[in-house]
Structure 1
Amino acid sequence: MSGIFISFEGPDGAGKTTALKTLMPLLQAKTDQEIVLSREPGGSSISEKIRKIILDIHDEEMDPRTEALLYAAARRQHLIDVILPTLQANKIMLSDRFVDSSIAYQGGGREIGMKEVADINDFAIDGHLPDLTIYFDVSPEVGLSRIRKDHEGAMDRLEREAIDFHNRVYDSYMKIVKANPDRIKTINAEQAPEKVVADALDAIIKRFPNIFNKGE
């Protein structure tokens, strides 16, 4: 398997999805390898159907463990349908969220236990971790204020959670970042959007200088 796998993580309101839309063409201009952009939960037909169930604001009675299992199921299908074929074709896989999200949101935010959720996902991903993870760091207060300003009324079930939930998610992300210094690169997402994109681009190029070297 000769492609590379890069995931993008961050709390709600970190701006990673918006940054990715700007970042992808900049990366593509620097390599001859095709880049594929996907997201979690979702990314493939079955996984997108699971996404609708997970994020539906009317599913408030969903048990936390059910939620964690649904995320793992969607991830497994995404891995099989999109991620592995992309890597096997020597392409570059960019995923808006991956396993770290479940460990932070369900393990920490839902208080199921980070290890417990990691174990569920170990079964789902079968050892396939990203080669690099870009973590967009933003405080819960700043992130939630952005969400409320940008799309009040369109917030999903997790975004609507109380600040205590988002504080636990953030604290869990900090533990994940500390435990994986070789894989995870932190970007200050409270900077101007163009600086966030520039820093992320720089981090990726520095990690894979032999791949993103076109036009140098």
Structure 2
Amino acid sequence: MNNGIMIVLDGSNGAGKSTVIKAVKEYIESRQLEVVMTREPGGTPIGEKLRNIILSKEHPEMDDLTELMLFGAGRAQHLAEKIYPALESGKVVLSDRFDSATISFQHFARGIDRELVDKINNLALNGFSPTLTIILDLDPRIGLDRVRSRGEGLDRLEDQDLLFLDRARNGYLRQAEEFPNKFYVIDASQSLEKVISEAILAVEQLL
């Protein structure tokens, strides 16, 4: 593999992303490939500062357009500072969320016009697209129960009504239907072992 690839794990809160992404990382490294782990919002010092602003419950007054542009700004920095250099050196970038989350949450859930969301996304991406996005699909009700059972707090986007989270979930599934070659959907209501197995199988087909 001369050029690097980027794999994104995204989907419902409580679907097991953190555990699955660690298992995928271990699998990729077993193939003697170097992995760069990252996340959105975040991934860089600037991005992590933006993450704190975007997800903090201290900012309930944040305008939807402000939120969208902060995601775009963080993504532009993420690509320039971390993702592009890793790919150019032949590494595998493994990200917890990326551009599909913006479409799901800001367009489908928030209701911001898709054309505007795409413009901000495309400005940040500048033609770039992840190699594969794995969606861990789960009913938000089950996901929130899992999050609460672990004693974890909810961030500003997680702490929305179920209708909002249902719309975001539908957004992921709609994107997968629209771009079947770029997305792989896994039923995250299955056992964690089964979810991990399916995720590794999807990645194996790329390597």
Map 1:17-96 to 2 at 5 A. Answer: 17-30=18-31, 32-96=32-96
**1:74-100 per-position Cα deviation (integer Å, ceiling 9, x unaligned):** 111111111000000111111111100
CA RMSD in angstroms, aligned pairs only: 1.2
Which amino acid in structure 1 is aligned with residue 18 of structure 2?
T
The CA distance in 2 between the partners of 1:90 and 1:141, in whole Å, is 39
The AA in structure 1 aligned to 2:159 is: R
- Alignment partner, residue 144 of structure 2: 144
Equivalent residues, number: 206
Deviation at 1:113, TM superposition (A): 2.5
Distance in 2 separating the partners of 1:203 and 1:56: 34
Shift of 1:187: 1.1
SS of equivalent residue, structure 2 residue 19: helix
Which amino acid in 2 is paired with 1:64? D
Q: Does structure 1 residue 161 correspond to structure 2 residue 143?
A: no
SS at match of 1:120: helix
- The CA deviation string for residues 117-170 of structure 1, in whole angstroms up to 9 with x for no partner, is 122100111011011111111112211221222234x21111111111101111
SS of 1:9's equivalent?
strand
Matched-pair identity in %: 39
Aligned counterparts of 1:7 and 1:23: Cα–Cα separation in 2: 11
Looking at structure 1, the residues matched to 28 and 186 of structure 2 have their Cα atoms a distance apart, in angstroms, of 17
Determine if contact 1:3/1:93 at 8 Å carries over to the other structure. yes
Counterpart of 1:214 in structure 2 is none
- 1:5 aligned onto 2:27: no
**Structure 2 equivalent of residue 190 of structure 1:** 189
Which runs of no fewer than 5 residues in structure 1 stay unpaired?
Answer: 212-216
Scaled by the length of structure 2, the TM-score of the pair is: 0.95
1:164 partner letter? L
Shift in Å at residue 116 of structure 1?
2.1
3-state SS of 1:7 partner? strand
- 8 Å CA contact 1:104–1:114 kept in 2: the answer is no
Q: For 1:65, give the aligned amino acid.
A: L
Report runs of 4+ in structure 1 exceeding 3 Å deviation: none
Report deviation, 1:2. Answer: 1.0
Give the alignment's TM-score, normalised by structure 1: 0.91
User: Does residue 172 of the first structure (1) align with residue 171 of the second (2)?
Assistant: yes
